[in-house]
Amino acid sequence: MIFYVTGPVVSFQECLRLPDEGENTFQIGTDSYVNPGFPGRFINHSCDPNAGLVDDTCVVAIRQINPGEEICFDYSTTMLERLWELDCFCASPKCRKKIKDFDLLPVEVQRRLLRLGIVQNYILEKIPSLDTLIQDIPAVTSA
C-alpha cells in the first residue's frame, strides 16, 4: 500500500459544481466520485502504470517503484461514464494516445489490468461481459 485517496464522495452533478469541474476526482461508483486531497489530487496517469487502485481508494504498487520515480496509475481503471475522454501524453512506449472508459480499451489491455487486480469493483459489477475476460486470470494478491 502506498496511500489512501481521501476526500469527500460526491455525485457527478456535484463534480460539475466544483471549482475545477471535478477534473481531479476519482470515479468509484456509477455516480460516485472521490474529490481527493493531498496526495491523491496529484497522482497522474500512465498507460504503463506503476500503481493502481484497489478497494476504491487504496493506491498500491504493481511493480517496483524506483526512488524519485513518479507514482502513476491508469485512469481508465476507474472510468465508466461515457462523458469524458482525454488526450494522453504519458510518453510510455505503451501509450494509447487517448484515455477513455475501461470497457473501450483494447481487450488485451483490459486483460492485463484485470490480471493486476486494479479495476474498480463497480466496473466489474456493471459489465457482465468482463466475466469472460476474468476467467482463467489468477488472482493477484498485494504484498
Grade residue 69 by pLDDT with cuts at 50, 70 and 90.
very high
| In-domain check, residue 139 | no
Owning domain of residue 126? 3-131
141, 115 Cβ separation under 8 angstroms: no
Q: Give percent above pLDDT 70 in the chain.
A: 91
Tell me how far apart the alpha carbons of residues 110 and 74 are, in angstroms, rounded to a whole number: 11
Strands 58-61 and 51-54: antiparallel
12: three-class secondary structure by DSSP? helix
Predicted pLDDT of residue 134: 60
Q: How many domains does the chain have?
A: 1
pTM of the model: 0.87
Is 136 domain-assigned?
no
Residues 81, 83: Cα–Cα separation, whole Å? 5
| Cα 53-55-56 angle, rounded to 5 deg | 65
Q: Sorting pLDDT into bands at 50, 70 and 90, what band is 127?
A: confident
- Residue 46 domain flag: yes
User: Which pLDDT belongs to residue 137?
Assistant: 55
CATH of the domain at 48: 2.170.270.10
Q: Has residue 64 been placed in a domain?
A: yes
Residue 140 has pLDDT above 70, yes or no: no
User: Would you say residue 142 lies in a domain?
Assistant: no
